[in-house]
Amino acid sequence: MFKTKVTNAGCVYYSDIIPELPHCFTMRESAVEINDNFYKYCEYFKVKEKEFIHPTQTHSSNIRFAEIGEQNYPETDAIILTNTEQAVYLRFADCTPVIVYDRQANIAAVVHAGWRGTVAGILPKTIEKMLESSKSDIENVFVAIGPAIGACCYSVGDEVIQGVDSSVRNNEGLYCERGGKTFLDLKKTNARQAVESGVPIENIDICPFCTCCNNDLFYSYRKENGTDLRHNAIIKLR
Ligand SMILES: [Zn+2]
């Protein structure tokens, strides 16, 4: 279940399914790039400024491991963290933020899954890459899917529908039809991909909020006509 907590940078959400992993999903006012929140999160997560890293997201399905001392992650939309020196944040406005935690190996990842990344299977690919390196059992993998545009607001065209259909074995319940339009549940699509990869359904937590309906709480690319501002998902290993 998603719950709120107060940090020195303001109110954030977290998932109680991964209590061992220091993490959060920020809101508008608590976003990393607002005010001096970057420095406040360095303090909160106890990392040096140069080790609070983020990739240059390009809606790709490229996945990288975080490397101590490395700050440059071009064209990267998922980062796997295996050390306790760094913290990682990614940026979102409607796209789906996903935090993956491998409890057995104590490694984690943040994934940026918009429709392009979702269609390309960036979440299952990240899980696969994590397990390749950790040799953990998939029963120990937990997935927290953060605030993203919901099926209430996310009307999509044929290109997206075809892509989503080819990215899952079972597309049941991923769409709804209203007023001649098709609406996609991007969060549920990512959850379905995780389940089809073997993640137990009880290990998946989905944030109920739609970023477009709850634009007072989160940034929405659609609602705000292409805003540059972003909320975040942040992870750090203990
Ligand atoms: Zn909505």
Kindly report the CATH number assigned to the domain that includes residue 8. 3.60.140.10
Q: How many CA atoms lie within 13 A of 49 on its CB side?
A: 5
Residue 138 included in any domain: yes
Total domains in the fold of the chain:
1
- Cα of 11 vs centre of ligand 1, distance in Å, is 21
Report every protein residue that has its C-beta within 5 angstroms of ion ligand 1. Answer: 150, 152-153, 210, 212-213
Residue 169 included in any domain: no
Q: Where residue 204 falls among pLDDT bands split at 50, 70, 90? A: very high
Per DSSP, the residues of 171-191 read -TTSEEEETTEEEE-HHHHHH
Domain carrying residue 227: 2-147+186-236
- Cα of 3 vs centre of ligand 1, distance in Å, is 19
Render pLDDT for 124-143 as a digit per residue (tens, 0 to 9): 999 999 999 999 999 999 99
- Cα of 172 vs centre of ligand 1, distance in Å, is 20
Percentage of the chain exceeding pLDDT 90: 99
- Cα of 113 vs centre of ligand 1, distance in Å, is 17
- Cα of 164 vs centre of ligand 1, distance in Å, is 19
Specify whether the CB–CB gap between 227 and 215 falls below 8 A.
no
Residue 181 included in any domain: no
Q: Where residue 51 falls among pLDDT bands split at 50, 70, 90? A: very high
CA 12 from chain center: how many Å? 14
Residue 141 included in any domain: yes
| 3 state DSSP class of 126 | helix
Residue 213 included in any domain: yes
- Cα of 207 vs centre of ligand 1, distance in Å, is 13
Residue 175 included in any domain: no
Specify whether the CB–CB gap between 203 and 4 falls below 8 A.
no
User: Average model confidence (pLDDT) for the chain?
Assistant: 97
- Cα of 140 vs centre of ligand 1, distance in Å, is 32
CA angle 208, 116, 233 (to 5 degrees): 45
- Cα of 159 vs centre of ligand 1, distance in Å, is 21
Residue 121 included in any domain: yes
- Cα of 184 vs centre of ligand 1, distance in Å, is 11
Sign of CA dihedral 155, 158, 159, 161: positive
Residue 109 included in any domain: yes
pTM of the model: 0.98
- Cα of 94 vs centre of ligand 1, distance in Å, is 10
**pLDDT given for residue 156 in this prediction:** 97
Render pLDDT for 206-218 as a digit per residue (tens, 0 to 9): 999 999 999 999 9
